[in-house]
């Protein structure tokens, strides 16, 4: 299931190529699904990449329900998304023709239609290591599963047992975690001193596999598991671990690649051993690294700093309206704050990946 994604643009002229890139990065057109492939809902678990507001009412510093977060969201409203606009949950759901915004499960204004077409249980700062969410007081994956059980009961009460089973078996489930385990728990906080990178990424991969097994037990069959990104090249990790020149911190990247190889292999094994399951590994590492290393190729200029504040360390509560201004040209930046990509970057990534991983569910 490993997928080394590369990018190429074949144009008759430089001008046409640039126009094509501009169109790709600013718009997403819903893909045409095969006639036998339908996704009634999109449901997400994990961390800040797919958290759409669950942390808003959690007593934690890992929050983003304040300006300038959300400046490019609908009406410029901060919703708890760790981005200037929409995040992968929203963009993928739109691509699949489900809806353009996937709400947080803990959103107090959640409607019946929202429940039936999908929600996010993700919590910024969470991870596969049970210690990771404890360190920053956010919602663990185990707690996310408890909310999911509550969700299943709600779906059953709305549409009945048979339709509930159909929704669980045919919806797209996203699992996005691991970044906070590696970057924060393992490297920055050094909270697992008895583990080396190899044993720690094994702990992560085993936890991720256990989570997928539990989802399968609830009747879930279509599961997309995102690998870890090139964490050492994220602005904050360059600042913390990249030396005076803020180079990519290669030890972070090596740990990310270790985890990715392990979870990919484990998903392959689950595909062979669990009847009917379709677990798909999503290689986010290579395409994001390509964007970071060659930003101009994708219509960006700045890839080593975020747009909020200095772009070196600001994230969550440090990226706020009072202490942090926003760069003058957000569209030129790969990263929004020092840790999370911009909506524009997410659009590029999803355009590169969507058809490849959706094909694996046929």
Among the listed residues 48, 123, 171, 264, the single catalytic one is 48
In 3D, which of 81, 203, 210, 65 has the Cα closest to residue 145?
Answer: 210
Structure tokens at 174: 């996203």
3-class secondary-structure state, position 82? coil
How would you write 43-56 as a 3-class SS string?
Answer: EEEECCCCCECHHH
109 is catalytic: no
Among the listed residues 107, 179, 340, 351, the single catalytic one is 340
Check residue 240 and report its DSSP letter.
H
Buried b (16+ CB within 10 A) or exposed e, 229-263: bbbbbbbbbbbbbbeeebebbebbbbbbbbbbebb
Structure tokens at 139: 């919602």
Q: What is the DSSP string of 113-156?
A: HHHHH--B---TT--SSTHHHHHHT---HHHHHHHHHHHHHHHH
Residue 319 CA to residue 67 CA, distance in Å, equals 8
The length of the chain, given as a count of residues? 362
Strand (E) or helix (H) holding 18: helix 14-26
Backbone torsions φ then ψ of 198, nearest 5 degrees = -65, -50
Among the listed residues 64, 123, 337, 351, the single catalytic one is 337
Strand (E) or helix (H) holding 280: strand 278-282
Check residue 246 and report its DSSP letter.
T
Output the CA–CA distances (angstroms, integers) from residue 287 to 257, 263, 306, 315, 349, in the order listed.
13, 18, 18, 23, 7
User: Sign of the C-alpha dihedral, residues 352, 355, 358, 360?
Assistant: negative
Burial (0-12, 13-18, 19+ Cβ within 10 Å), 99: middle
340 is catalytic: yes
Where in the sequence numbering do the catalytic residues fall? 48, 337, 340
């Amino acid at each position: 299931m490993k997928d080394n994604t590369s990018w190429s643009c074949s144009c008759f002229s430089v001008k046409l190529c640039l126009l094509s890139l501009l169109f790709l990065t600013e718009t997403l057109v819903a893909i045409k699904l095969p006639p036998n492939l339908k996704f009634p809902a999109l449901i997400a678990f994990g961390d800040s990449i797919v958290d759409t507001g669950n942390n808003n009412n959690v007593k934690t510093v890992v929050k983003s329900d304040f300006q300038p977060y959300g400046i490019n969201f609908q009406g410029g409203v901060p919703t708890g998304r760790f981005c200037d606009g929409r995040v992968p949950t929203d963009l993928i759901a739109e691509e699949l023709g489900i809806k353009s915004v996937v709400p947080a499960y803990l959103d107090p204004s959640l409607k019946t239609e929202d429940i039936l077409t999908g929600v996010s249980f993700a919590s910024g700062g969470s991870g596969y290591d049970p210690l990771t969410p404890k360190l920053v007081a956010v919602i663990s994956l185990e707690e996310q599963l408890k909310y999911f059980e509550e969700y299943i009961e709600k779906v059953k009460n709305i549409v009945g047992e048979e339709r509930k089973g159909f929704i669980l078996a045919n919806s797209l489930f996203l699992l996005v975690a691991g970044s906070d385990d590696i970057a924060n728990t393992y490297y920055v906080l050094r909270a697992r001193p008895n583990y080396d990178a190899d044993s720690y990424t094994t702990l992560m991969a085993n936890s991720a596999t256990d989570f997928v097994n539990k989802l399968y037990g609830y009747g879930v069959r279509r599961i997309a598991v995102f690998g870890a990104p090139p964490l050492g090249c994220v602005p904050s990790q360059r600042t913390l671990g990249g030396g005076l020149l803020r180079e990519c911190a290669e030890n972070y990247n090596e740990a990310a690649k270790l985890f990715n190889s392990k979870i990919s292999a484990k998903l392959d094994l689950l595909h062979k051993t669990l009847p009917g399951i379709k677990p798909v590994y999503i290689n986010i590492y290579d395409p994001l690294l390509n964007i970071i290393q060659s930003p101009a190729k994708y219509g960006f200029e700045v890839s080593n700093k975020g747009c909020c504040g200095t772009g070196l360390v600001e994230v969550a509560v440090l990226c706020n309206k009072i202490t942090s201004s926003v760069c003058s040209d957000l569209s030129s930046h790969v990263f929004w704050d020092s840790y999370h990509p911009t909506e524009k970057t997410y659009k590029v990534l999803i355009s590169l990946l969507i058809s490849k991983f959706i094909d694996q569910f046929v």
